[in-house]
Amino acid sequence: MRFPVEALLVASFALGCSSGFGLAQTAKTVEPGGARMAIGVAGAFNEYDQARGGAQLSNYSLETGFRFGVDKSTDLGVGPWLTYGLQADVKHELTPRERPYGVALRFGGGGAATEPVSWSAFGGVIGSYAFAPWITGYASGTYRNFWFVDSKSRLPPADGSQYASRKGYGDGLLQATAGLRLGSPRVALYLEYARWLPMQNDPGDFFKLVASHVFSFTLGFCLGSECRTG
């Protein structure tokens, strides 16, 4: 049985396309009826960069997104994902909003008409602590699953073997993120580092996730007349 080993470089989606690689949020939710916008840049780097001659423009992506307050403990995030896609997520804070610490659950998913066509679902937890009104540290652990649809026409292997069949469970990625939020309730800078580690791999989809280091720098803006830290 021949197993395809084409590697999906998670940073290979073109520069200028919003990718949703960064987190850019603490455990605190956007206030009810409030809204925030985020814009920044992210870079993802992995073991294949050296083989490609070093980091290239395709290692970087534009980060954009919006969050809307639903109630005092829940908000909704929407934004572009990968090259021609969209993702959405719901975050629910488990701790009192007025406390400096916070713990929140976050779930969501999305799809993208890239090559290959990609679908994703994820869930995780965010923890944060406000050391001062202008500085908050946060960390997140997320499990994200991908399903890739390979549309290429492939000839049978020349040696008479067969490609591995699709198993259906997709390709998993564990995303661990640590960051700092610096600034006022109205405008803040999010500085992040994330380590992405592959979990399971479906041998029949012709793609394989690789371990990556991800850095992102994002500005968050309040779109309403009043804002609290989020």
Q: Which residue has the tokens 């990968």?
A: 82
Residues 6+ positions from 217 with CB-CB distance below 8 Å: 40, 41, 42, 189, 190, 191, 192
Set out the domains of the chain in order of their start, with CATH numbers: 7-222 (2.40.160)
**Using CA atoms, how far apart are residues 127 and 104, in angstroms rounded to an integer?**
7
Structure letter (DSSP) for residue 128: E
pLDDT tens per residue across span 142-184:
999 999 887 666 666 666 566 667 787 889 999 999 999 999 8
**Using CA atoms, how far apart are residues 190 and 125, in angstroms rounded to an integer?**
18
Q: Is residue 78's pLDDT more than 70?
A: yes
**Using CA atoms, how far apart are residues 118 and 217, in angstroms rounded to an integer?**
25
pLDDT tens per residue across span 5-25:
343 333 333 333 446 788 999
Peptide bond into 116 cis (omega under 30): yes
Helix (H, G, I), strand (E, B) or coil at 81: strand
